[in-house]
Amino acid sequence: MRILNVNSTIDLKSGGGTAERTVQMSRAMVDAGQQCSILTLDININSTRIRSMEAIDVILLPCLWKRFYVPKLVWGRVKRLVQASDIVHLMGHWSILNVLVFIAAIRTSTPYVVCPAGALGVFGRSALLKRAYNILVGNSIIRRARACVAITRAEFRNFEDYGVPVKRVTVIPNGVNDPKCMSLQEAQFFDEKTNSLLQRKFLLFMGRLNLIKGPDMLLDAFIQVAEQIPSYHLVFAGPDNGMLEKLKIKSEVCGLTHRVHFLGHIEGGIKNAFYSSTDLLIVPSRQEAMSIVALEAGIRGKPVLVTDQCGFEDLLEVSQNLIVPATVVGLAEGILTLVQDRRRLKMIGDELMILIRDRFTWPELASNYLSLYKDIIKPD
């Protein structure tokens, strides 16, 4: 089967979870014996990143305007790629690249599926532009898809808002691969400050510093409980999306600069090291389809605390204390409840690792995708 996965960016820094899902899904398809390509824009993609994707055929289109991910119009090339594919997978929703591929798929009668990954809602500063996008083409992209993929059941209502009945929506959650152990040689590249921080007890935030991800609520929650957990530090690992300065100022005003740390974007060995060393990963999101970082920490045997807006209800099977309201008070109470018993915390991490290995690894999820694809392209 020839599969074309489409995402405006596969850069982990700017693309976050959807970029990671696209790459991991493509790797899983190749491992399953399928021919898989990724069509994306040349945003922050270097030769090292390309080599890391091994047998995946990565097609890069020039990006003319990074603010809105506007690609150079190479219509003939896009049409040929789509026509040569048995099925096309569109990731995300607010994407000019998706529009080009959608038009090519309609004109060449190539079946396509869509996975908005929680992006269908219309909100924020660009709400007016999003409404115009949907009127012009967005609604058609969703409604004319041969299948719609939701990451969680919570997305059903979003699809229904676009006129897609639930029976046409398939749930395939985010996934993760079993991590490789970090080598001693890799660890030696860490600087003195990082190595010192890894030796301390710390809570970890991994993600972009923007309003939806909720780092401000997490900082406020930490401020509330700081005196009750004096040995703990709080580490923010992720690129700035407009909130870094405000977070730094608040930590300074509260006298916590020695306990609140901002690392910026991290990946590779250093990212693995922070996952492996933290006592607790916290996902304070105001809205999220399903947290990939929760899977990445959990597969390493680390407990996670998420809000009830993260779409990860399976955590309740491990402990009722792992999901809290998306409020400062909810996060503060959740932190105190979990970290007061480190022995129990370790047991929760072990149980979570088993759950994720059973349900959320890519070989199994790729099988679900392939079953869906075969049903779509089988002869009538």
Which domains, from first to last, does the chain contain? 2-175+361-377 (3.40.50.2000), 184-359 (3.40.50.2000)
Question: Taking the mean position of all CA atoms in its chain, how far away is CA 98?
Answer: 19
Find out whether 247 and 358 touch, Cβ atoms under 8 Å: no
CA atoms within 13 A on the CB side of 58: 27
Task: Provide the mean pLDDT of the chain.
Answer: 92
pLDDT value of position 206 = 97
Mean pLDDT within 294-298 = 96
Res 76: pLDDT = 94
Structure confidence at residue 15 (pLDDT): 79
Q: How confident is the model at residue 184 (pLDDT cuts 50, 70, 90)?
A: very low
Alpha-carbon gap, residue 33 to 369, rounded angstroms: 13
pLDDT beyond 60 at 181: no
Q: Does the pLDDT of residue 201 top 60, yes or no?
A: yes
Mean pLDDT of 246-275: 94
Check: CB of residue 229 under 8 Å from CB of residue 202.
no
pLDDT at 182: 41
pTM: 0.89
Residue 92 has pLDDT above 70, yes or no: yes
Q: How confident is the model at residue 180 (pLDDT cuts 50, 70, 90)?
A: low
pLDDT exceeds cutoff 90 at 240: yes
| pLDDT for res 379 | 67
Chain segment 34-84, per-residue pLDDT in tens: 999 999 999 887 676 777 777 899 999 999 988 888 898 889 999 999 999
Per the document, the length of the chain is: 380
Q: How far is CA 364 from CA 27, 81, 341, 367, 370, in A?
A: 13, 27, 34, 5, 10
Return the pLDDT at 186: 43
| pLDDT score, position 311 | 85
Q: Which residues lie below 8 Å from residue 132, measured CB to CB, with a gap of 6+?
A: none
